[in-house]
Chain A
């Protein structure tokens, strides 16, 4: 018996349209069905057509939130795809190559790797008269190599293609069988590649992308208005909600631009409807005036930033965290704001729900900072709890409350108190009030009186202190007494944990501080870094979060590990980056 797979990274690559994504997600389902954790990533060139498109999968017994160091199994549909992915092959990797156009160029393939040349496209055309079934042929070969029983692969493919017509599904199954037949001819029995599938007892799981989780979290939090403008990698949130929110009595608007989107969102929020918008860097930049307005006028809204490489249009399909500076300090004037940063889809769901509550409770803008990798990659997670959500609308006054009150001052200073004034939804009888972004008095009437200006400014800033205790703490893991800390958020979350484990295994005790509130900077982060060399890992060229952390008092401890080539870290790369700094 070959030992079962514990951790494997698989890549399928070809031209866009070759079916790499479907192939990889079917394999993902195969593993997930056996109790493995899976992490699925897509890599596309930042243009519409042409260029190699790759899909990657990591299946592991322990949860990982990143790809492994090297590719154990590569399916390449053409020479360009093989050449682009060959250098990442593990020494004993398997390669399935579509040899319809000729033999595999072996130049960059490690000598110890095994190459299986199969005319995938020709087989598909011969048996099904369509090139597009070649990915199902490839699935047959790949599944054999992985040691999956044929019947299981067939069952998985059939359920995976559940949305397709009966006819198309049948054609794909025939293609799969053609793959099995070819494997038989080539002498590839299950297990001949010394891999086998385990069956792992696993708790209930769902497989979701960050964007799906954010959209779903908003819906489950009672969110009923969304306005957005299409942009990679945030569009899936707009699309997900456009498909579902109307059937829940909600409204989705595809706005004419992001200026409209953020202002529509504020308009909806005024009526007491939970409202959100989402975009990426260029759109969030356009929204800055609106975010400042939400802070000044005290309107609770949620803004999602699925960060991509910038500046300007940058690299639309590549992850970065180079909006952090804008999120924590963009806009004119002194703007209280909250910036939450989930590290996986489950947190994306939960922090979006929390963001909705916070927006109501402190009456201002709440960002959810995601990134392309978190937003678009899919991960198995424990199902988010949709039962226990009960929206906290803060100091929302209903008609009855107003009937009993002596007076209602929308911007009541409340003797300063917690800085949070009572609010009411437009349309509530007796609650008429004025909302403005100009400085104003407690009734909402515009003023420039110095004393009132001072108090109103302080009141707005005070609200952040009021909700501080509800902001998500950092997740600290690893050796609490370690002298080295890896600090980061979003797409760094999984890779930091894995790098820390490896560093610990090599005798370098390391802790991980996963930041979930980027702004304000919470005490617990500074405490966790006390006495440590803090390596702040982030995807930008200027160390934007490190700068904020330094300004908050950690300057003496902070060292940056930066990356801005558009690629996520692999664990070994992060380990190497730490070692280079430590032992330089």
Chain B
């Protein structure tokens, strides 16, 4: 077996929330016993966008904001892969927000983890569209946006301050996409200790729906209204917010596109048949000139 790259050590600041995301992902891949070569881990641009270097899987560093469409290309072209896209809130909610909406709509089976620190870590602390803690009424809420699209099938939010729950949610997300039930979206509150250390604030802001016996994650309307009600008290729900019922499984899973080797005689015959439809028919010579 060929020696390949050695996963590097994370370059994140000590205490960065992104370590928590990495840990959750590592244990989900391990617990589900997914061979590393079957995992395509695609990342955005940002501090978050180095996560692909740390696990020993196939790794891809996308353009800023384009990790989701790239992951869709991978997942459609080879549905055997476990496809995980990960990126920051700037990547997913600012420059890439348009793609996220369409990812919910398309519901292609892959997992997307938005590592939300409510700031631009890599470019040193500029504001992000997801300023919930800052009290910005106009802030972008990824899970809410996903709930608003009726074709979405898996929406969750975790918090790096609650690693056990996060590991559970990560595993559930991977299972959802591996079972071809569609697009699994997991937002992770993952504070940036250097430019926006929000750990102290989240504890009393987050509300865990998983711990609420009256909550049902199969009820889209409930998920939506719960989030809106909580927001009135400046609180944010975490946990498995919504998962579509079993029957929503993606039955239309595409076949793996043929590897592009030399065409079989069968294939050549089909190409020829297609070409024949463009053939110029020479006329039968009907009718003598009148």
| A contacts, CB < 8 Å to B | 29-30, 32-35, 147, 149-152, 154-156, 159, 189-191, 196, 199, 202, 204-208, 212, 216, 219-225, 227, 244, 246, 248-251, 253, 255-257, 259-261, 263-275, 289-290, 293, 297, 356, 380, 383-384, 386-387, 389-391, 393, 402-403, 405-410, 425-438, 443-446
Given A267-B77, A435-B60, 5 other A-B residues pairs in contact with their CB atoms under 8 A: A191-B289, A248-B267, A268-B74, A434-B52, A436-B61
Closest 4 CB pairs of A and B: A267-B73, A151-B287, A222-B260, A33-B283
Q: Are B278 and A207 in contact (CB under 8 A)?
A: yes
Known contacts A255-B69, A264-B70, A427-B81; is A386 also within 8 Å of B60 by CB? no
CA of A149 to CA of B288, assembled, Å: 6
Q: How far is the CB of B249 from chain A (nearest CB, A)?
A: 19
**Which of B30-38, B191-199, B208-216, B223-231 touches A?**
B30-38
Q: CB-CB < 8 A to A29: which residues of B?
A: 280-281
Check: B149 CB closer than 8 A to any chain A CB.
no
Best-buried of B37, B272, B278, B280 by chain A (most CB within 10 Å)? B280
CA of A32 to CA of B278, assembled, Å: 12
CB-nearest residue of chain A to B262: A390
Partner of B278, one of A206, A246, A269, A434: A206
Q: CB-CB < 8 A to A406: which residues of B?
A: 2-3
Q: CB-CB < 8 A to B288: which residues of A?
A: 149
Q: How far is the CB of A484 from chain B (nearest CB, A)?
A: 35
Partner of A391, one of B1, B42, B52, B261: B261
Q: Are B2 and A430 in contact (CB under 8 A)?
A: yes
Q: Are B60 and A431 in contact (CB under 8 A)?
A: no
CB-nearest residue of chain B to A184: B290
Q: How far is the CB of A577 from chain B (nearest CB, A)?
A: 33
Q: How far is the CB of A528 from chain B (nearest CB, A)?
A: 33
Q: Are A445 and B8 in contact (CB under 8 A)?
A: yes
CA of A384 to CA of B35, assembled, Å: 44
CA of A191 to CA of B290, assembled, Å: 9
Q: Are A427 and B78 in contact (CB under 8 A)?
A: yes
| B contacts, CB < 8 Å to A | 1-6, 8, 35-38, 40, 42, 50, 52-53, 56-63, 65-66, 69-78, 80-81, 98-99, 101-102, 254-263, 267-268, 270-272, 274-275, 278-290
Q: How far is the CB of A246 from chain B (nearest CB, A)?
A: 8
CA of A468 to CA of B47, assembled, Å: 39
CA of A383 to CA of B276, assembled, Å: 9
Q: CB-CB < 8 A to A259: which residues of B?
A: 65-66, 69, 99
Q: Are B263 and A222 in contact (CB under 8 A)?
A: yes
CB-nearest residue of chain A to B261: A391
Q: Are B5 and A263 in contact (CB under 8 A)?
A: no
Q: Are A443 and B73 in contact (CB under 8 A)?
A: no
Q: How far is the CB of B8 from chain A (nearest CB, A)?
A: 6
Q: Are B63 and A429 in contact (CB under 8 A)?
A: no
Q: Are B268 and A386 in contact (CB under 8 A)?
A: yes
Q: How far is the CB of A348 from chain B (nearest CB, A)?
A: 13
CB-nearest residue of chain A to B66: A263
Known contacts A270-B40, A431-B37, A443-B6; is A251 also within 8 Å of B98 by CB? no
CA of A393 to CA of B260, assembled, Å: 8
CA of A118 to CA of B286, assembled, Å: 27
CB-nearest residue of chain A to B1: A430
- Could you show 21 A-B contacts with beta carbons less than 8 Å apart? A30-B283, A159-B281, A206-B280, A212-B278, A222-B258, A225-B73, A227-B73, A248-B258, A249-B257, A259-B65, A259-B66, A271-B74, A271-B77, A271-B81, A387-B268, A391-B261, A406-B2, A407-B2, A409-B5, A427-B40, A428-B37
CA of A64 to CA of B200, assembled, Å: 76
CA of A155 to CA of B113, assembled, Å: 62
Q: Are B280 and A271 in contact (CB under 8 A)?
A: no
CB-nearest residue of chain B to A208: B278
CA of A433 to CA of B57, assembled, Å: 7
Best-buried of A202, A219, A426 by chain B (most CB within 10 Å)? A426
Partner of A433, one of B59, B258, B270: B59
CB-nearest residue of chain B to A443: B5
Known contacts A293-B63, A437-B63; is A205 also within 8 Å of B279 by CB? yes
Known contacts A152-B286, A271-B74; is A248 also within 8 Å of B270 by CB? yes
Partner of A267, one of B3, B72, B255: B72
CA of A10 to CA of B254, assembled, Å: 47
CA of A161 to CA of B121, assembled, Å: 63
Q: Are B290 and A149 in contact (CB under 8 A)?
A: yes
Q: Are A433 and B70 in contact (CB under 8 A)?
A: no
Partner of A436, one of B60, B76, B268, B290: B60
Partner of A33, one of B62, B65, B281: B281
Q: CB-CB < 8 A to B280: which residues of A?
A: 29, 32-33, 204-207, 380
Q: How far is the CB of B115 from chain A (nearest CB, A)?
A: 18
Q: Are A260 and B102 in contact (CB under 8 A)?
A: yes
Q: CB-CB < 8 A to A191: which residues of B?
A: 289
